[in-house]
Structure 1
Amino acid sequence: MKAKPTIFLLLLVFFLISAIPSFPQESAMDKKAFEKAVKRYRKTVRKDEKNLELHRRMIESAYRANSISVPLYIYQESYKKHPNHPIVLYVLGYTHLTKGTEESLTAAENYLKQALENEPNLVDAHAALGRCYLKQGQKELALEELEASIRLDHKFAPAYLDLARYYSSERSYQKAISNYKESLKLDEKSFEGHFELGEIYFDMKDYASAEGEFLKALTYARSEDEKVAKAYYKLGQIRAWQNRPEEAIDFYKKGKRYASNPAPRYKLANIFLDVDNIQYAIRSLQSALALDPRYADEVGKLKDLSSNEVKDASAVETANIIKEMLVKNPNNSQLQYFVGKLQLKLGDTTSAKEHLEKAKELAPSDEEIRAQLGEVYERENEPEKATEEYKQAAELGKAQLPVLLHLADTYRKEGDEAKFIETVEQILAIDPKHPDLQFELAVIYERKANEEDRKNTDYLFAKAVERAHQAAMLAPNNGKYRLKLADLYAKQGKLKALKTYEEAIALAPNSAEAYAGRAAFMLNYRFGAQKALLYDPEDILADLKKAIQLDPNLAGAHYSLGIIYDRMGSIDKAISEFETTVKLDETNYKAYLYLAEKYANGNEPMKAIDAFAKAIKYDRNNVEALKDFAFLTLKYNEAKWRDAKAALKRALEINADDPEALMNYGYTLYLDRDFAGAIENYLHALRFDPNSAQLHYNLALAYDANGQKTVALQEWRKVVDLDPDGRFGMTALERIVALGEKP
């Protein structure tokens, strides 16, 4: 990316210092070689000094050539002369970032922050700072900076690449893939992008896609470094998983040209062991041991076994030979792991456990060893130890699906919902084709959305819909999954809920919940500016009657039937359905609210009070219900004023400025002989309703009871002025006369 021209005005001066006043001590070159390297670097930069991509390539090339001290020196000298220039700060920060030591990352963070202080819209600096935070493990800050970079320039490939790395570190593989692809659209020839995307596909066992990306990476490789070797080794491992051994070996031979070490060969041996190809497992093991001088004299013992066609005999002999090697040189975790796997394949769990425990001791952070040991403990009927090893494997790295599935089941049984969600998300990131797990997550996210505050509700609900949709698509003939999706669409108010309910009914024609859900959606769906109802009540009624016919105890259907009868003017039928609802489901506070309203309007205040009491028991945040309960209680059952007081206190916790709640709460304080508290609440209420005769009347009573006769008299006079012919005014007048005052 190229920044604004003014930023680059003096770059040529910055980077073309003519002499080297001091030779950097950390350089691996002698002074003469270093001076030549500096001149070459400057000459290249001079060709296009405004091109930050060129600077990045040069810095990275210097790092690969073990000469990072060259750009570090050049940019440090520029910084001494121009300490506030954003581009100088950026390239110096990027050099430290590329160097990658803990100390260098701290320096990179400081320089990049300074660059952004001087030029807040420098896209490259935001992206580099994001990568720096990612390397430091500060993932939230990394995400902020990378997203800021993309907001400033949605075509900046490095930001997408690092954003993909962020999501990969979070094991959000689908998001990682999406960002890798976006990065590669903008920078098709990125070796790193293709290679890292290939690794994601490899971990997901999508070997066809992984192979394509590794081959592209090799096409665009600019240097013969270790990652080129890794690409060939990964291609060989893909062929091994496909049990195409000769092709696997050919890829490994190509990788050997760039980097030769035993670790990839041990990996290949283990894969051949997993696919039951003992012959090539032994050949690969030979290749690994040949690179280790500790076993050079004994590796020849395996030569004849690698061509032995008697598989089991070869495996037993190989195990015995390796055990002899390990007696002399036991401190090889990879060899201990291989023989442990081999013994497990041969059915000797005791010996397998011994070697795997030794491997774990030597390499406690190797997730594959921990997972294999977990399997051994499982076979040995030691479930607690097995679970612990599986947990450690998952914590340490990219655990395989069998391990994660075992852990998900464990966390489900333990009731550890947070770990269950985390583990299932990992499973679905690797292999989304688990409709049962998709559905289970949908149910959890929906419940959590109902429990969380508004800030998280939308996010959790969207997750629930996403998972329900995946479940329904993966299992298109499953009516339960389709019904859950319909219910979620209905809660979102989406019209496609209706079609989804119809699909659920077609899949499960005897599902009372499907008919009741469709009826509830039609009952509540409105359209247009006037929020008009769209569906015929008779159609809704038919669905509800069908639902109740299929399941007479379906509370939700009775509730909806009560609403439709109410709208049709059949009040008695509505009350009957609401009463049935609360018998079947005592937590249905909406039915209690309907009943409370009908009882109150029907001059049955005690039944209304009881219904409101049950409503607010299950819905503690309904301010109007709390107030209505308190009002009716104070009016018709004042002996229970303490219940009214508690309800009003809760209402004021939710809305401290509700004048009606303040007035009635003040009255309960008056009844409790807390006159000062009553006065305080009345005065607070008067701020919102200063001309309320009733409020002034109650305030006068409180002042009088509190012994404040003068201010009480003033309040009586205000009541008379505000309500001269009403009951409050007439009573206030009597009070004034009783005090011997003139009206």
Structure 2
Amino acid sequence: AEGAAARLLAREDLAEADVLSILPVLESHKRDDLEGRLLEGLAERKLASPATLNRLGLHYERRGRLDQARQTLERVAELEPNSVATLLELARVANQQKDNKGALGYLAHARDIEPANASVHFFFGMVAVEENLAQEAYTSLKKAVSLDPANAYYNYAMGAVAVGRDDPREAIPYFQKYCELKPQDARGRFALGAAYFYSHDYERARQKLEAAARAPETASGAHFFLGRIANQEGDLAEAVRELRLALEGDPNYADAHAELGRVRLNRKEYSLAEKDLLRALEIDPNNYTANLNLMILYQRTKDPRAEAQASRFEKVKKRRAERAKEFLRTIEVRPY
């Protein structure tokens, strides 16, 4: 096969159609390497159409050769500057390269070409989330949902962004829609329960979270929030029970260890509280709840480590504030 490919590429009268006609055979035999060699040969001899160059770019992407994939797809975009499909492929490759600003540039251009394309707005919103661009993420995902309100994943993503804003209640209808569209997916019930929790509607939160607790994939998270509800309502014994169930499902759940430490601190079980809080910090040294409550514990028990922990907490608090400020920043996206 290698020899036949070499002879084909050496022909003076080689045409693009000659190569394209045998690609299905190579695909059926899983000879991705030969397909790439033939496509490269066409490109080197300037016989490749934009569609074939696109195929070569995707071949490079599959093989993990992202720089070459992007360079090749850039050539396609130069030949077909209004191809939204190519711009989306470029954005995907740039995102894999961790060049999210580049990805946003491609997507902004695609958005200008097809402003009613919901998938473009969704992709832009998801990359904006990765870049901590809260307002851009919110605006783009809201537009995606308005263009395609029956898309379950758009609704879920919009809910996930909305729940972190000033009014978490805004997330509720999006998660409700996801549950309507994906009734078998426990993640929807869990997300809706969490949104009710953050909206301080504990009764509705409990209903959804108890259902989510029966599904293995959401059990630990659901028990965690049920524990937080019990703590808020002053039922500390129930809070301990729920949080221990959360940790049975996920022993490395830092937030659950931190919350359990806080509950035990409130119960004046200082030795157990310290154990849980230190375990949380072993998993996540910057855990805000664990650092705060360990400081309170040391101050309350007159522990000589209190001053050092207070200093540590101030650093964590400052870092948290900086992250919150960063999430509120905006970006000027230059069209491609």
Aligned pairs for 1:576-725 (under 5 A) are none
Relative to structure 1, is the Cα distance of residues 370 and 235 closer, same or farther in structure 2, using a 3 angstrom cutoff? closer
> 1:290 corresponds to which residue?
214
CA distances 1:162-221 after superposition (whole Å, capped 9, x unpaired):
1358xxxxxxxxxxxxx74x64232213334322555658966669x93x6434323555
For residues 484-531 of structure 1, the C-alpha deviation after alignment (integer angstroms, 9 at most, x for no partner) is xxxxxxxxxxxxxxxxxxxxxxxxxxxxxxxxxxxxxxxxxxxxxxxx
Letter in 2 for 1:109: D
State whether structure 2 residue 284 is matched by structure 1 residue 279. Answer: no
Residues 191 and 218 of structure 1 are in contact (CA less than 8 Å); yes or no, is this contact kept in structure 2? Answer: yes
- Counterpart AA for 1:291: A
CA distance in 2, matches of 1:353, 1:114: 56
Within the alignment, does 1:163 sit opposite 2:104 as a pair? yes
Match of residue 20, structure 1, among 6, 16, 25? 25
Q: Which amino acid aligns with 2:185?
A: S
The answer to whether structure 1 residue 110 and structure 2 residue 68 are counterparts is yes
Give the match's secondary structure for 2:312: helix
How far 1:322 sits from its partner (Å)?
1.4
Q: Deviations over 1:604-624 (max 9, x none)?
A: xxxxxxxxxxxxxxxxxxxxx
**1:333 and 2:333 aligned:** no
* Residue 240 of structure 2: aligned partner: 320
Aligned to 1:136: 97
Residue 82 of structure 1: aligned partner = 42
User: What aligned pairs does 1:399-548 form with structure 2 within 5 A after superposition?
Assistant: 403-405=320-322, 427=325, 430=328
Question: Which residue in 1 is equivalent to 2:55?
Answer: 91
- Answer yes or no: is the 8 Å Cα contact 1:233–1:252 preserved in 2: no
| 1:237–1:271 Cα contact (<8 Å) kept | yes
Distance 1:341-1:280 versus aligned 2 partners, 3 A rule:
farther
Q: Distance in 2 between matches of 1:375 and 1:223?
A: 42
> How far apart in 1 are the matches of 2:87 and 2:134?
34
Matched residue, 1:384: 311
Say if 1:266 and 1:285, in contact at 8 Å, map to a contact too: yes
Alignment coverage as a number of residue pairs: 292
Q: Name the CA shift for 1:277/1:15 in 2 (closer, same or farther; >3 Å).
A: same
Asked if 1 retains the 8 angstrom alpha-carbon contact of 2:121 and 2:144, the reply is yes
Structure 2 contact 258–289 (Cα < 8 Å) conserved:
no
| SS of 1:218 mapped into structure 2 | helix
Match of 1:189 in 2: 116
Are 2:118 and 2:144, in contact at CA under 8 Å, matched by a contact in 1? yes
Whether contact under 8 Å (2:149, 2:155) holds in the other structure is no
Q: Is the 8 A contact 1:83 1:89 kept in 2?
A: yes
RMSD: 5.5
Counterpart selection for 1:370 from 284, 287, 292 = 287
Pair 196,387 (structure 1): closer, same or farther in 2 beyond 3 Å:
farther
CA–CA distance in structure 1, aligned partners of residues 156 and 197 of structure 2:
21
Equivalence for 2:177? 251
1:327–1:247: structure 2 CA closer, same or farther, 3 Å change rule?
closer
Q: Secondary structure at the match of 1:82?
A: helix
- The amino acid of 2:57's aligned partner reads G
Does the 8 Å contact 1:340/1:354 carry over to 2? Answer: no
Maintained 8 Å contact 1:294/1:329: no
- 1:328-375 CA distance string (max 9 Å, x none): 54525177268449739969796776545545555x49xxx7233344
- CA deviation map 1:205-241 (0-9, x unaligned): 669x93x6434323555997x8446336437737994
Paired with 1:241 and 1:352, the residues of 2 have a C-alpha distance of 32
Q: What displacement does 1:268 show?
A: 5.2
Task: Name the counterpart of 1:441.
Answer: none
Structure 1, unmatched stretches of 5+, are 1-9, 27-71, 147-161, 166-178, 395-402, 406-422, 433-743
Change (3 A) 1:319 1:120: closer
- How far apart are residue 319 of structure 1 and its match? 0.8
CA 1:384–1:343 in structure 2 vs 1: closer, same or farther (change >3 Å)? Answer: same
Question: Could you tell me how far apart the structure 2 residues matched to 1:121 and 1:295 are?
Answer: 50
Query: Aligned equivalents of 2:238 and 2:245: distance in 1?
Result: 11
Contact 2:193–2:209 (Cα < 8 Å) also in 1: yes
State the TM-score, normalized to the length of structure 2. Answer: 0.57
TM-score, with length taken from structure 1: 0.30
1:553-592 alpha-carbon deviations (Å, 9 max, x no partner): xxxxxxxxxxxxxxxxxxxxxxxxxxxxxxxxxxxxxxxx
Q: Is the 8 A contact 1:204 1:430 kept in 2?
A: yes
CA distance in 2, matches of 1:347, 1:245: 34
Q: Report Cα offsets for 1:451-495 as digits up to 9, x if no partner.
A: xxxxxxxxxxxxxxxxxxxxxxxxxxxxxxxxxxxxxxxxxxxxx
Retained in 1: the 8 A contact 2:281–2:291? no
Structure 1 or 2, whichever has the larger Rg, is: 1
Deviation at 1:323, TM superposition (A): 3.8
Secondary structure in structure 1 of the residue aligned to 2:233: helix
Counterparts of 1:120 and 1:245, CA distance in 2: 37
Q: Check 1:195–1:254 CA distance in 2 against 1; reply closer, same or farther (3 A cut).
A: farther
Task: Report SS of the residue matched to 1:254.
Answer: helix
Structure 2, unpaired ranges of 5+:
1-14, 298-305, 331-336
| Counterpart-to-counterpart distance in 2, 1:184 and 1:17 | 36
| Identical residues among aligned pairs (%) | 11
**Cα gap change, 1:292/1:330 in structure 2, threshold over 3 Å: closer, same or farther?**
same
Tell me which residue corresponds to 2:9.
none
1:430 is displaced (CA, Å) by 0.6
Q: CA deviation at 1:281?
A: 4.0
Question: Does the Cα contact within 8 Å between 2:179 and 2:189 map onto a contact in 1?
Answer: no
CA contact (8 A) 1:109 1:129 kept: no
Matched, 1:260 2:158: no
Work out the CA distance in 2 between the residues paired with 1:334 and 1:265. Answer: 22
1:404 to partner: Cα distance: 2.0
The equivalent of 1:237 in structure 2 is: 163
Distance 1:341 1:327, change over 3 A: closer
